Amino acid sequence: MRIVQYRQGTQKLWAPGAGGFHGGVMRRVTGALTVAILSAAATLLGACHRSSSTQSTSPIAEGPLPAGNHALPPAAAAPADDGNWVMPGKNYAATRFSALSQITPANVSKLALAFTFSTATNKGFEAPPLVVNGTMYVITPYPNYLYALDLTKPGAPTKWTFKPKPAAASQGVACCDVVNRGAVYDNGKIFFNTLDGQTFAVDANSGQMAWHTQLGDIQRGETITMAPLVANGKVLVGNSGGEMGVRGWIAALDEGSGKVAWKAYNTGPDKDVLIGARFKPFYPMDQGKDLGVKSWPPDAWKIGGATTWGWLAYDPETHLVFYGTSNPGPWNADQRPGDNKWSAGLFARDVNTGEAVWHYQTTPHDLFDYDDVNEIILADIPWGSGRRPVLLRPDRNGYFYVMDRRTGQVLSATPYGYINSTKGVDLKSGRLIYVADKEPKAGRVTRDICPASPGAKDWNPAAFSPVTGLVYIPHNNLCMDFSGVQANYISGTPYVGADVKMYAGPGGNRGVFTAWDPVNRRPVWEIKEDLPLWSPALATAGNLVFYGTMDGWFKAVDARNGKLLWQFKAGSGIIGQPISYRGPDGRQYIAVVAGVGGWAGAIVSAQMDPHDPTGALGFANAVKDLPMKTTAGGILYVFTVPR
């Protein structure tokens, strides 16, 4: 593990009229950073426009961290921590931050196992556990078992198990392993989705089903892998299947009955997208009538993807729900000229009616499978003499976006990883600027496209600490060769149209863990990891950050400087989200599930041939050594500091 630290910069974003722009394009600030790289050779960062590197045998002492004048989550979306963990994002602001502070840099080296639990599954385990008043809930990948564990008793025995019995055929239409990204607790019930397109509500005490609703159709290639969000009496759910030629949507179910309250499509005519008089996108490129039809070839929007398989956030003050849409289909962009609205972008909708309030298309006419489904962190940042409500978003296309959450205006878009596929974001028009030489063309292989299709970061969410004001980003350093081929649509079968081969980016490391300052638009420190990072992050008030690696190391680092303080070798690679909770005994606990898989780890969980460079849509080539580093599994690990 190599740590890179950065000195404190002088240029801030939040002085109105501040510089840092060239021709309307935001680039990473170069003059304010001095970089020390702890590897023997400096990494060429090219399009990221970092300053010259110097070699060093020890980290440069970090500059002063933000004090009170840094980004903070809005109180309404991030209420006081009660020691529970009731939704994957921890709260509506999606901070993934625990205010518990018993475990600190001073004592984390004593962290020890409290108990373990086998989930009886060996596919990619991406979901975090939930903890509610002395009970832990664990949702598995297919077959989507829901376990309730009694934390008040030694060893946390099982209280009950709910088995929803999803259709076995759903496994055959799942794009990227049979994962599930989590459940949510609200008002005495646990809500979760199943791979075959159902949403369930289960009584949290008894394990009895309250209701279930069928939403997806596996015959068309639809599955549901995302974690629902419950807000203002609505259970919000979206579909997966962007590689299967489905049409993306988001639906709101009544929390009490499971009946559909509203449903909005992400492509098609305005009436289907719930675009009306309230819809006021900030940029002209997103303004106009029926753009969800006109920006596609005839009828292509009907099979154009733009699914909702990622993360949602909610602002209780404005009653707006925020979510991103996935790639357009097929990957072969020659088959779908136009901007392909409303794919690869971000919606703000009224949670009560579903009406679209604004949209920003992050990646118009997506060329590289840069889904816009990553986490959306709500924050209020210093602005003039006050604060401005924003969204913080480390996007798949490699830019860290700071956006006004009232309007969708992009305030900054700064590279947080290596990029050569685009030049930057024009803040006047909002458009991403492609590099012509990297655009795939028919009849040729376009080489060295960075980032690769999983992006500078994929689904695995960052954590945001109001203590340090930093966003902790687990991400990738991957590039690819890409060749478009003709895709033919057959319902329920892959609709991709691309041959892809991925590999390590500059420097040879395939993963990076970055502590990012969203106010100063810069990294504070980075950790170079051998393998891609597919595990979400957890930040705590004890100034610790936790994350896992695909070869099974669960790590705790100092939130202020990235120093490794503790690590534990699990029995399988870790792509699951860690959590922190207060146990019935009053102590702080850390929990994570180890179970390698997902798109990045399918080479292990699906037992793929490591000699096939096109396996897992080209990801297998980037991790062909992974089967030698870990095995499939599905074990819950829970840790605490012994008394």
Tokens of 306: 């733009």
The token duo for 371 is 């889904």
* Per annotation, catalytic residue among 126, 243, 272, 375: 243
Cα separation, 497 vs 488, in Å, equals 8
CA pair distance 72, 65, nearest whole angstrom: 14
* Nearest one of 388, 389, 390, 399 to 423, comparing CA atoms: 399
Runs of H (alpha helix) within 260-379: 270-273, 291-294
Nearest to 28 by CA among 492, 399, 454, 337: 399
Catalytic residue among 180, 327, 340, 420: 327
CB atoms within 10 A of CB 233: 15
Whether cis (ω within 30° of 0) applies to the bond prior to 451 is yes
Cβ neighbour number for residue 444 with a 10 Å cutoff: 10
* φ/ψ (deg, to 5) at 219: -65, -25
Question: Both ends of the chain: CA-CA distance in Å?
Answer: 31
Phi, psi for residue 532 in degrees, rounded to 5? -55, 145
Q: Where are the beta strands (DSSP E) in 163-214?
A: 184-186, 189-193, 198-203, 209-214
Single-letter amino acid code for the residue at 4: V
Q: What are phi and psi of 377, to 5 degrees?
A: -100, 125
Cβ neighbour number for residue 276 with a 10 Å cutoff: 11
Put the strands of the sheet holding 511-517 in their side by side order: 53-55, 35-37, 2-6, 522-529, 511-517, 471-476, 463-464
CA distance 326 to 395: 12
**327 flagged as catalytic:** yes
Rounded CA-CA distance 337/149 in Å is 51
Rg (CA), the chain: 22
For residue 369, the number of C-alpha atoms closer than 13 Å in the C-beta half-sphere is: 32
Report yes or no: 127 and 593 within 8 Å, Cβ to Cβ: yes
Is residue 606 exposed (0-12), middle (13-18) or buried (19+ Cβ within 10 Å)? middle
Q: Which helix (H) or strand (E) holds 213?
A: strand 209-214
Those residues whose C-beta lies under 8 Å from the C-beta of residue 314, and which sit 6 or more positions away, are 77, 92, 229, 231, 232, 320, 321, 322, 351
Q: Which two tokens stand for residue 198?
A: 């159902």
> Which residues on neighbouring strands pair with residue 196, listed in sequence order?
none
Contact 411, 382 (CB under 8 A): no
Catalytic residue among 126, 369, 375, 481: 369
Strands 579-582 and 588-594: antiparallel
Residue 243 annotated as catalytic:
yes
CA gap 415, 636 in Å, rounded: 35
The HSE-up count of residue 311 (CA atoms within 13 Å, CB side) is 30
**Helix, strand, or coil here: 301?**
helix
List residues with catalytic annotation.
Answer: 243, 327, 369
